Structure 1
Amino acid sequence: MLQVPGLQNCGIPTKVLCQLNMVMPEELVDDEEIWEDIKAECCKYGSLRSIEIPRPINGVEVPGCGKIFVEYDSAAECQKALQARTGRKFTNRVVVTKYYDSDMYHRHDF
């Protein structure tokens, strides 16, 4: 099984949720609506502290591009979001969710 640093789908919940398979990097080039859509969907599960959506930059490999990171006020809220969002569809894609290490998130180590 491939292990990605910072991602964990079991064990102790963190305050940060990483959502994969929601958007493709090319969809992030000039779509500002995505942020509002993510915020509206994710705030249903708790208070949001921050959202990070790494976007592509021409000629530069951007770590985490295509992933969506959402930080909640508590690990319990994040756990609630993970349980609710896993397997849901977003733009005809099945969402994959994982807890993400809070320290790595704050360092923008995506």
Structure 2
Amino acid sequence: MSASSRGSIQVLLQRLMLQPGGSPTKVLCLTNVVSPDELKDDENYDDITEDMRTECAKFGNLVNLVIPRPRPDGEPTPGVGKVFLEYVDVENSSRAQKGLSGRKFGGNPVVAVFYAENKFLEGDYEG
């Protein structure tokens, strides 16, 4: 195997490690938590955001919380139905991932996976 092939494989492996569920990152993506319909009403959205902030801060220092909302014109919005949590470090996000995974929210088991920090920082919520 040539040095360039090994380098390409190494880059590919590094990318895979940044995928959800791969190596821990400071960012978590929660699914099975909210539905698009719940996010349409401003008051309901504010309540959900505050509840999530309060609950998720119990696991560590929460830096940022993003809950993508459906667009009023009905056009698809990336990440609707997901909740993104950015913690101060991997230790805090790992604690949150363990504490939130499988927990019931609205009768549904929460799925909490690590999310690529670079995608989160770019506002890419499709992953």
Instruction: Give 1:7 shift.
Output: 4.5
RMSD over equivalenced CA pairs, Å: 1.1
Counterpart check, 1:73 vs 2:78: no
- Indicate the structure (1 or 2) with the bigger Cα radius of gyration: 2
Does 2:32 align with 1:17? no
**Residues 29/7 of structure 1: CA separation in 2 closer, same or farther (3 Å cut):** farther
* 1:109–1:29 CA distance, 2 compared to 1 (3 A): same
Q: Are residues 1:42 and 2:56 paired?
A: yes
**Structure with more relative contact order (C-alpha pairs < 8 Å, separation 6 or more):** 1
Which blocks of at least 5 consecutive residues in structure 1 are unaligned? 1-5
- TM-score normalized with structure 1 length: 0.90
Letter in 1 for 2:35: M
Say how many residue pairs are matched.
Answer: 104
Structure with more of its chain in helix, by fraction = 2
Partner of 2:20 in structure 1? 8
- Runs of 4+ residues deviating >6 angstroms: none
Deviations 1:8-67 (A, max 9, x none): 224x21000100000111111111200001001100111111000000013211000000
Percent of pairs identical after alignment? 39
